Structure 1
């Protein structure tokens, strides 16, 4: 089960993971200058499709891969809201690998390792699907389009709590 970790939104407001208890989550490290940046549109689409059923996309901007998220919190928020009309929660710029990796990422990488058991995240737009009980169900790679995950989200939302 996801630990109750403190999170900070792009606007500086603090939340807790427990604020998302009982929801199905898709946790994604995002970037504004990545070859996969257009996935913001797909993330927004699945968020809009399932939000009213207890689904949240949690976006964590990350500058660890090729310096693809160099902007300030304000720049990131403006880019996402004007270019992709995002309404899902975006959090402060986050390290997902290394000794300064955010505690949430340390947990989810361990719970759902990648190919050959590696925990390291290889690139931006790696996605982790979490069920209502806080269990990490699956890890998806950068190339996995958000629309291709919709069926898995649907199944979890339909399963009994």
Structure 2
């Protein structure tokens, strides 16, 4: 009897979830010219580049090893981290910082012609540090920056899939056929 109730609850949940059009999040679909992409970055083995590669592979993008093989190039122009002291408690025991991570990127064709002007993606996080936890705050800072890198990489992919870049890249592909 308990199994029947359990199965009924599971079936009811599934019906409700599908009835409200619930679907697991799918990776964004990129325009055809972005399906064969080269990532040009000053730090090709950095965390941001790894996250970008992972997200692009989930979107079924072919990453090529040279600009000449690509239909389009994702160029990371600048990557910046920073922190700013927000507040200090009256007893000087607690400090609060704002951590900032920003990336400037653009999309070009293999010949270097800019298809989409540079865009900036910025993420912020707040870090509270107690005076007796100074050593642990370094690890927490690293984790926050890693989390912000993941979020920025995801935002870049979403912008690549967005209407603005898709339109520009498709127009460029039609007006100037790219030879391989």
> TM-score, normalised on structure 2?
0.28
> TM-score, normalised on structure 1?
0.31
Higher relative contact order (CA 8 A, sep 6+): 1
Q: Which has the higher helix share?
A: 2
* Structure number with larger C-alpha Rg: 2
Q: Which has the higher strand share?
A: 2
